[in-house]
A and B are shown apart, each in its own frame.
Chain A
Amino acid sequence: MEKILKELKPGEQGVVKRVGGDGAVKRRLFDMGVTPGAPVKMRKVAPLGDPIEVTLRGYELTLRKAEAENVTVVISE
């Protein structure tokens, strides 16, 4: 099942399928390891509801929901 990264519930895992967005945002996502094929796990949402924190390639990454919008994730049932 395909989902947008920001829609994942805390604890839910998936694999990155596509990364969109414009130049700098996309490059930054790539550099931080958000590339197709990378397993990613939603960890939590910030106290005020945004940004989100995910576990990826063995570390914690935080990004806003607006940026997580660019990342499509495949969730295996």
Chain B
Amino acid sequence: MLKLALAGNPNCGKTTLFNALTGSTAYVGNWPGVTVEKREGKYKKLGETVDIVDLPGIYSLSPYSPEEVVSRNFLLDEKPDVIINIIDATNLERNLYLTTQILETDIPVVIALNMMDEVERMGDKVDAQLLSRKLNVPVVEISALKGKNIHELMKAAKAAAGSKREAYTVLEKSELAPIAEKAAKLLSESDISDPLFHAVKLIEGDELEVKAHKEAAKEVAELKEGHTSELFGDDFEAFVADARYRYITEELSCAVTKAERKEKLTRSDKIDKVLTSRIWGIPIFIAMMFLIFHVTFAEDFLYLNALYGVQVQGWEQWWEPGSYVIDGGIPSPGVLLQSCLVWCTDSLSALAASGLANAPAWVSSLICDGVLAGVFSVLSFLPQIALLFLFLSILEDSGYMARVAFIMDRIFRKFGLSGKSFLPLLMGFGCSVPAIMASRTLEHDQERRMTIYMTPWFSCTAKMPIYTAIAAAVFVGNDDLVVFGMYLLGIVCAILGALLLRNTLFRGQTAPFIMELPAYHLPQAKSLFIHLWDKVKKYVIRAATIIAASTIVIWFVSNFNWSYHMVDSIEDSIVHDLGSVISWVFYPLGFAIGEYGWVFVVAALTGLIAKEEVVSTMTVLGIAIGALGAEAGETTAIEALFTVSGITTPAVIAFMAFNLLAIPCFAAVGAARAELGKGRSFKGALLWWTASAYIVSMMIYLIGSFWWTAFIFAVIIAAAVTLIVLWNKGKLKLPGKKQKKA
């Protein structure tokens, strides 16, 4: 079967092309050993099925980022039949830089000249035939967005497969040509494929190549000995990079004819002027974030009820019971969708209950109180999660996310991070797992580690149900404020935590920040929905598998005693004993105190399996308790739980804070382990999350309950900060003194 690889810069339309080619056959996995996303799919319209691998978006085949190394290894080791190099025709110069490196391999190459419609719209021209002649490879003009010419592209690729292409390097005309030639000859004599590629990398002094080809590296080093150029001295990396760009501007730029611009500013420029404006840039960003949260979570949309008393009558009959819609105001789209779903799942539950009326008690209990209650309570948050993801993808695809990094970098640098780590951190609002994986794009090891440590505190959508469910039960009418407050708490903790780490364990240089700001694009519905569908699917699968399974376990331990007999009262159950045994550990956090304190302890612990579990545990246990208490009836299980347990407000907040900050779900821990390795930094992360969650929740509870404890904490914190500052200053002074003596 034919195997094609798609290679190109970020933002060149590569993903759009991949989606257009492969459609529903796409499969997202990981590159072996690293957590860079690997997308594979099939193209079926050529008569034979063709395998397509989408390489990560890269600017170069240098050895500095995992994406580049992965792409390089794939091209060299797995040998695709053809490389399809996608080039953004509106930005030929920089895009061709990667092409000059790809052409150094022996693999047949077809160039896809993308965004030709954009070029035409601006009145410019790009001569594809001229490019094809100069580069000696087929060039096909396409528009990935409109699906134009992509079948022709695949036909050209099929024709190129199996043909022989002579490797070409831009060094051919330079003074380094003899060295490249000799090195390539040497390598091909020892049966190494793509000799020219390796030879040029050896001249550059590429670390990976020098390690892989020790013999040849020695020879090349000897050849290089004594060779200095006027401009670059003995900096061969600079020489090669310059030769590439020189070749592009001198030989290839003639393919582009730019039209006279009537207007000085493009549309993208005009948008950018506002969005990154000195005065409005930051307020617009904050407003946008607030709007996204408001549209997703607010129960009084646009505050119409609070401000103008706009109310809708007659909701009640539709949304009761178990709905989170309060009386009165118009709910936001997110809440509205959620209510619809809750209505559907409630109907299903009622149907199941009546269908199982004659079944044995344990069967109907297992299905209704266990599986359905748990899974449905998790599923009910799907609309809001999907909306949030949709908004984040729109920001990402439109090019605004990169601007956010640009705007925020100054702030993040203070904490040893860069504006770039803002992207993974912001994704943390969606899900910690992809967010932790996205930290791969950070080149600097220290920045990556710190980002991973902070990511779970950017409260993920699975933690959101904890706040909304609790807010609906305890802080009626202030739901969006409570949710916003918890998100804010997470961010504040992340900032303080980063500052603390930066001044203690993670001192040293900050990471470089050199990135492209892509032109603004209208996000494309198709790719938005492919992305969204992927997330929704994963969430539903998780609800149906791991969450359903653990719900059954929790149902079992809460309905049975140690001799496996079903119990009438939860106080005789296994879970009661388990929770009681360890709940003393959580006494300082407040929520473990009291007759039903163990319920919250168990809920927080099951949150380690998946954060969605916290809500489903509280629901399952709440039903059991609601059966005990007289408060049951009209209220939801969680409401009953909070009323019956008599938990205090500071303890409720401490409980939410603990869930926010503690070790994230198993999946996220797995991702963190993949990124950090098994060693000290991974164990450190677990300790970091646990300790911070415990301390912060304790402070919230104690200060909330006994205000004077604030002074004690203030003194402790002040002492710690003074110590750290003194220690850092002391460290700085010592070498200074020595220098003076010398």
Contacts and interface: CB of A to CB of B under 8 A. Distances in A.
Interface size class of A (residues with CB under 8 A): 20 to 34
A47 B281 contact: yes
Given A33-B94, A62-B517, A51 B238 contact: no
B62 A31 contact: yes
A29 B94 CA distance: 12
B242 A61 contact: no
Contact of A30 (B92, B238, B407): B238
A63 B276 CA distance: 15
Interface string B518-562: 110000000000000000000000000000000000000000000
A35 B44 CA distance: 43
B410 A48 contact: yes
Contacts of A25: 512, 514
Nearest to B61: A31
Interface in B251-304: 276-279, 281-282
Contact of A29 (B277, B278, B514): B514
Interface string A40-66: 000011111111010001111111101
A55 to B, nearest CB: 10
Q: Which one of A59, A63, A66 has the highest number of Cβ atoms from chain B below 10 Å of its Cβ? A: A59
B512 A28 contact: yes
B245 to A, nearest CB: 5
A1 interface: no
Interface string B89-124: 011111001000000000000000000000000000
B512 A46 contact: no
B231 interface: yes
B245 A61 contact: no
A47 B411 contact: no
B406 interface: yes
B507 interface: no
B241 interface: yes
Nearest to B285: A47
A59 B12 CA distance: 12
B268 to A, nearest CB: 9
Interface string B405-421: 11101110100000100
B587 interface: no
A38 B242 CA distance: 10
Contact of A36 (B59, B242, B282): B242
Q: Mostly helix, strand, loop or mixed at chain B's interface?
A: helix
Nearest to A49: B410
Contacts of A36: 231, 238, 242
B509 to A, nearest CB: 10
A3 interface: no
B238 A63 contact: no
Interface in B484-523: 510, 512-519
B584 interface: no
Given A24-B64, A33-B97, A57-B93, A46 B409 contact: yes
A58 B443 contact: no
B97 A47 contact: no
B51 interface: no
Nearest to B283: A47
A66 B419 CA distance: 14
Contact of A63 (B231, B277, B282, B513): B513
A30 B515 CA distance: 12
A66 to B, nearest CB: 8
A28 B238 contact: no
B513 A59 contact: no
Given A46-B276, A46-B410, A49-B410, A62 B513 contact: yes
A37 B232 CA distance: 13
Contacts of B279: 47
Q: Which one of B93, B245, B512, B516 has the highest number of Cβ atoms from chain A below 10 Å of its Cβ? A: B512
A30 B519 CA distance: 21
B60 A61 contact: no
Contacts of A60: 516-519
A62 B443 contact: no
B93 A35 contact: no
A61 B413 CA distance: 18
B602 to A, nearest CB: 45
B320 interface: no
B276 A37 contact: no
Interface of A: 19, 24-33, 35-38, 44-51, 53, 57-64, 66-67
Interface of B: 59-60, 62, 64, 90-94, 97, 231, 237-238, 241-242, 245-246, 249, 276-279, 281-282, 402, 405-407, 409-411, 413, 419, 443, 510, 512-519
Given A58-B91, A60-B519, 11 more contacts: A19-B238, A30-B238, A33-B97, A36-B231, A48-B282, A48-B407, A51-B409, A51-B513, A57-B91, A62-B405, A67-B513
Q: Which 10 A-B pairs have the closest CB atoms?
A: A30-B241, A48-B410, A31-B60, A60-B517, A47-B281, A57-B93, A63-B514, A25-B512, A35-B242, A47-B278
17 contacts: A19-B238, A27-B60, A31-B59, A32-B94, A35-B238, A38-B245, A48-B409, A51-B409, A58-B92, A58-B93, A59-B519, A60-B516, A61-B515, A62-B513, A62-B517, A64-B413, A67-B512
